């Protein structure tokens, strides 16, 4: 975890007042004592507002909350105000929120979350939607969203824009299904692949190369994304604002080290408590949010099997303890979104229609803004 602060040189900053004698004792080469304060809220709040709460409400209360100790020319310690960059703060909040969501904070029942025990054993309806990657790129150029490329091939992180489309479609579905529950606090679990891929290796090469064996198996982490409420944007229906909000949330969470801490936590559970305990934690992590989103990068060129051209490609995660799972897969110039919905609880046709409407709203708004 990297905490960076803008301090400049001592000539460029203003030292406020001396640190108390006791304070100097508690922050020395032999002592480093801190006080942890905990606020217990009666009601759960949207984690997307937590950073603004800290920056706009908590930090201004007292300058000490954003000050560090610095030595003056005489060797005495003084309080110095600093600008706190956000990586460490994001890490603490995101990791804490992830642990809470994975432990006991479950989303309430809503049109997309039945909360039924054993939901993973219920049948699901699977439907797909195909979007044009060229149109997605048009939206991207309008929003100035930066795609992060892992290699020179067509391998990129989860597309913030398609997540915005899916989440807006989800809110529209909740709206047409239940007026009272359209803005129910809902969390999406976004799965990230953390396995570094450096080119293709055959099975024999992976078996012979001891170093390459570390690439075997799935290595993934979770991002808990709170869905923005629809009423913030529906007055004049500003879909691009909705997408920008999603992009901002995902970007902030990517810039924290919470993803890696979550992986370390799971590995520690597996090592000291066994794989079953770690599996139970993962089960709760998946079950407590309202929906899950995951993606896979597909071929950029047309493929064939036994000289039979492949027209399309998609996948679906089954037996997941959720009422709604959405998968994303690219193939050539298309992006296939697949929706797995709990049978008898979620209307797959209506959800598909709402997602298509969300795409049209966002694309039309992007074109008009250019």
351: Cα separation from own chain's centroid: 22
Q: Are residues 81 and 98 both part of a single domain?
A: no
Share of the chain above pLDDT 90, in %: 26
Q: Are residues 14 and 110 in the same domain?
A: no
Do 183 and 60 lie in one domain? The reply is no
Q: Which two tokens stand for residue 340?
A: 């797995």
List the CATH number of the domain containing 284. Answer: 3.30.559.30
- Are residues 38 and 173 located together in one domain of the fold? no
Residue 133 and residue 149 in one domain: yes
Domain boundary among the residues 26, 57, 85 is at 85
State pLDDT tens for residues 244-271. 888 888 877 777 778 778 878 888 898 8
- The helix/strand/coil state of 362 is helix
- Pair 97, 174 in one domain: yes
Residue 237 domain boundaries: 93-369
Query: Which of the listed residues 68, 85, 102 is the one where a domain comes to its end?
Result: 85
- pLDDT category at 349 given cuts 50, 70, 90 is very high
Q: Which of 51, 85, 119 is the last residue of a domain?
A: 85
The DSSP result for 219-262, as a single string, is -EEEEEEEPPPGGGTTTTT-HHHHHHHHHHHHHHHHTSSHHHHH
CA–CA gap between residue 197 and residue 216 (Å, rounded): 11
Q: Are residues 151 and 77 in the same domain?
A: no
Same domain for 98 and 31: no
Number of folded domains that form the chain: 2
**pTM for the full predicted model:** 0.71
């Amino acid at each position: 975890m990297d905490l960076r602060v803008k301090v400049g040189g001592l000539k460029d900053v203003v030292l406020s007042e001396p640190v108390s004698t006791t304070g100097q004792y508690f922050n020395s080469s032999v002592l480093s004592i801190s006080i942890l304060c905990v606020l217990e809220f009666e009601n759960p709040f949207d984690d997307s507002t937590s950073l603004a709460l800290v920056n706009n409400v908590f930090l201004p209360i007292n300058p000490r909350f954003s000050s560090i100790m610095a030595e003056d020319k005489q060797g005495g310690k003084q309080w110095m105000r600093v600008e706190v960059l956000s990586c460490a703060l994001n890490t603490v909040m995101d990791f804490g929120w992830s642990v809470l969501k994975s432990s006991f904070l479950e989303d309430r029942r809503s049109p997309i979350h039945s909360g039924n025990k054993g939901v993973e054993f219920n049948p699901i309806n699977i439907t797909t939607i195909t979007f044009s990657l060229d149109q997605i790129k048009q939206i991207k150029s309008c929003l100035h969203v930066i795609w992060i490329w892992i290699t020179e091939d067509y391998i990129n992180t989860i597309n913030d824009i398609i997540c915005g489309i899916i989440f807006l479609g989800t809110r529209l579905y909740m709206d047409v299904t239940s007026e009272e529950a359209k803005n129910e606090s809902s969390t999406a679990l976004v799965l990230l692949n953390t396995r570094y891929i450096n080119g293709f290796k055959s099975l024999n090469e992976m078996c012979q190369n001891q170093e390459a064996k570390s690439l075997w198996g799935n290595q993934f982490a979770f991002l808990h994304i709170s869905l923005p409420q629809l009423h913030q944007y529906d007055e004049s229906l500003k879909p691009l604002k909705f997408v920008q909000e999603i992009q901002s949330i995902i970007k902030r969470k990517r810039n924290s080290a919470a993803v890696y801490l979550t992986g370390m936590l799971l590995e520690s559970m597996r090592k000291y408590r066994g794989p079953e305990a770690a599996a139970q934690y993962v089960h709760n992590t998946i079950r407590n949010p309202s929906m899950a989103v995951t993606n896979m990068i597909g071929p950029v060129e047309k493929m064939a099997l036994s000289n039979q051209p492949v027209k399309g490609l998609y996948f679906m995660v089954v037996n997941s303890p959720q009422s709604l799972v959405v998968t994303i897969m690219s193939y050539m110039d298309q992006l296939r979104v697949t929706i797995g919905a709990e049978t008898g609880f979620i209307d797959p046709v209506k959800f598909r229609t709402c997602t298509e409407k969300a795409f049209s709203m966002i694309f039309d708004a992007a074109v008009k803004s250019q």
